[in-house]
Amino acid sequence: MTKTSERETVKAEHVNGGAGFIMKEALITGEELGEHCKMFSRVTIKPGCELGHHEHHGETETYYVLSGSGMYDDNGKAVPIEAGDVTFCKDGDGHGVKNTGTEDLVFVALILKK
């Protein structure tokens, strides 16, 4: 178990060529991830910022949107997203997300290795 006060939030700028920055908080790390989980994190994107389009090979990535709204790039197709939505990027596909709203876009990101 980890308490919110025990976890570190890291600021990453221009991720995958995206505008601005994202904030990433690893919810579990190291051995807790196991052999099939590459990442389990809470991601925050400020208004006007984005996580640039990128592809996944040998893994999948799922986002569960907790709050805010934005546009999800689903393999080149723009799809609006909001709190409660779940996105899935399968192995070999690409995706990205931009905060087009007025409040923080917050989601849980899960990368699973094949």
Q: What is the pTM of this model?
A: 0.94
Task: Give the model's pLDDT for residue 23.
Answer: 98
Those residues whose C-beta lies under 8 Å from the C-beta of residue 114, and which sit 6 or more positions away, are 58, 59, 60, 91
Per-residue pLDDT reduced to its tens digit, 14-44? 999 999 999 999 999 889 999 999 999 999 9
Number of residues in the chain? 114
Task: Give the model's pLDDT for residue 1.
Answer: 81
Question: Which residues in the chain show pLDDT less than 50?
Answer: none
